[in-house]
Amino acid sequence: MSGHADAAAPAQGDPANSPAGGNGLLWILVAVAVGFAFWHPRAPADYLRLVDWQTVGALAGLLAITQGVEQSGMLQATAARMLARTTDRRSLALLLTATAALLSALVTNDVSLFLLVPLTRVLATQAHLPLGRLVVLQALAVNAGSALTPIGNPQNLFLWHRSGESFAGFMLMMAPTVAIMLFWLLVAVFLLVPREAITLRPAPDKTELQPRLLALSGLLFIVFVVALDRHWLAGGLLIVFGAFLLIRPRLLLGIDWALLAIIALMFVDLRQFAELPAIAASMQRWPIEEGWRAYLAAVVASQFISNVPAAILLEGYVKDLPALAAGVSVGGFGFVLGSLANLIALRLARLPHGWREFHLISIPFLVVCAASALLLRLG
C-alpha cells in the first residue's frame, strides 16, 4: 500500500488493455454456473430469465458512451485544467470523492463512476498520483452517497417502493447511516492520501480535442438516459450502437465486453444461490425480523450475494425496513461482490492489482462503518 508503488502503477504497460484483476472472476463465475447446471439443470430459456437485462443493457450503453467521451479528448483537457488548479494530492482526493458522493445521490452510483473513474485514470497519466487509492475511495464514496436518496442505487429504489415513505422521509431515515459512512470516508481520505505536492509527468503527446465526437457522446448520453427512464432499453441501445457503428465503429472494440459477461453471470449464479432450499430454510429459522439481527443479516448477506440481491432476498423475512436499508448500504463495502459499483470501478480503472488494493482498504472500512452504524442502532 505504499504511495510510491501505487503512483507508479499507471505507467506499467498500457492500462487500457489491463482490466483490474484480469478475467479471473469471469472464469470463476463460469465454473459456478456449470456446477449449478449439473446440480440443478434448467431449460436454456430459464437461464436467460435469471439475468436482469435492464441492468446489463444499461451498462452496455454507458460503456459505449464512455468510450466516445474518452476518445474525444475531453477527459485529457479536463484533467489538465484540474491539475493546474489543484496543488496537492489530498485536495484532489477530497474533490474527487466529494463529487462522487454527491453525484451518486443524484444520478445513481454506476453513472457517477462512469463519469469520474475514466477522468481519474487520465489524471494519473498526467501526474504521479495514487490511482488505486483514488479509485477505491470513489467506489466507497458512491456506495455511501447513493445510500441517501431513493434513486441513488437499485436497492434503495426497491426498498423505497416497499416502505411507503415519501422521498424526503426515506432520506431522513437514511441520513444517520449515511452521515457515519461519509465521516469515515473523510477519515480514510486523510489517512490514505498525504498532503503532498502533485508532481506532473513528462508532457505526453497532446491529445487532439474532437468536439464532434464529444457532442455526439453527450447527446447520446441524454437520449439513452431518457430511454432508460421510459423503459425503452432496446431502442436506446439501437440508437447508441447504431450511431457509433456509422461514425466510429472501431470505438466499440474498446468496450469491456468481459465486464458485461461478468455482470450477466453474477445474476445467473447469485440468483440460483438465493433460490437454494437450504438458504430459504435458514432465512425462516434465524431470528432476523428486526433490530440489530436484521441489520447484521443484511451486511453479511451482501458480502456473498451483493447488496441488491440481498435486499430482495431479505425483504420477505425482515420486518424492520430501516435496519434492512442500513444493512445493505453498509454491506456495499467489504468484499468486491458487496456492490456492483465496486466491480464497475475496478474494471474502469484498469489496474493490474486493483482487487488487492480495493480489499486492503474496503474490508477495514466495512468493519469500522458496520460497527459504528450498529452502535447507532443500539443507541
Per DSSP, the residues of 76-134 read HHHHHHHHHH--BHHHHHHHHHHHHHHHHHHH-HHHHHHHHHHHHHHHHHHB---HHHH
DSSP letter at 351 equals -
Give the C-alpha distances (Å, rounded to integers) separating 291 from 155, 158, 164.
Answer: 19, 20, 19
Task: Tell me how far apart the alpha carbons of residues 41 and 341 are, in angstroms, rounded to a whole number.
Answer: 30
For residue 264, what pLDDT is reported? 87
Task: Tell me how far apart the alpha carbons of residues 62 and 87 are, in angstroms, rounded to a whole number.
Answer: 32
For residue 201, what pLDDT is reported? 78
For residue 22, what pLDDT is reported? 58
Q: What's the pLDDT tens digit per position in 306-323?
A: 898 888 888 878 889 999
Instruction: Cell 452504524: give the residue.
Output: 373
Long-range contacts of the stretch 301-304 (C-beta < 8 A, 24+): 301/328, 301/331, 302/327, 302/328, 302/331, 302/332, 302/334, 302/338, 302/339, 303/331, 303/334, 303/335, 303/337, 303/338, 304/273, 304/335, 304/337
DSSP letter at 331 equals T
> What are the residues whose beta carbons fall under 8 Å from the beta carbon of 135, sequence distance 6 or more?
117, 120, 121, 345, 346, 348, 349, 351, 354
| Per-residue confidence in pLDDT tens, the chain, 379 aa | 333 334 333 333 333 344 544 577 788 889 999 998 888 888 888 888 888 888 788 888 888 988 888 888 887 788 888 888 888 999 999 999 999 999 899 877 888 898 889 999 989 888 889 999 999 999 999 999 999 988 788 888 788 877 888 888 999 999 999 999 999 999 999 999 999 998 887 766 666 778 899 899 999 988 987 887 788 889 999 999 999 999 999 999 888 888 888 888 888 887 887 777 877 777 677 777 778 899 999 999 999 888 988 888 888 788 899 999 999 999 999 999 899 899 889 988 888 778 899 999 999 999 999 999 999 877 6
Q: In this structure, are residues 307 and 328 in contact, taking their beta carbons and an 8 Å threshold? A: yes
As beta bridge partners, residue 127 has 200
Domain ranges of the chain: 20-196+208-378
Task: Tell me how far apart the alpha carbons of residues 311 and 180 are, in angstroms, rounded to a whole number.
Answer: 20
CA dihedral sign, ordered 215, 218, 219, 220: positive
For residue 7, what pLDDT is reported? 39
> Which pTM does this prediction carry?
0.78
Question: Which of 251, 317, 258, 309 has its CA nearest to residue 282?
Answer: 317
Q: What's the pLDDT tens digit per position in 33-61?
A: 999 888 888 888 888 888 888 878 888 88
For residue 178, what pLDDT is reported? 96
> What are the residues whose beta carbons fall under 8 Å from the beta carbon of 276, sequence distance 6 or more?
none
Task: Tell me how far apart the alpha carbons of residues 270 and 116 are, in angstroms, rounded to a whole number.
Answer: 28
Which grid coordinates are listed for 93? 482526493
H or E element at residue 165: none
DSSP SS3 for 197: strand
For residue 290, what pLDDT is reported? 78
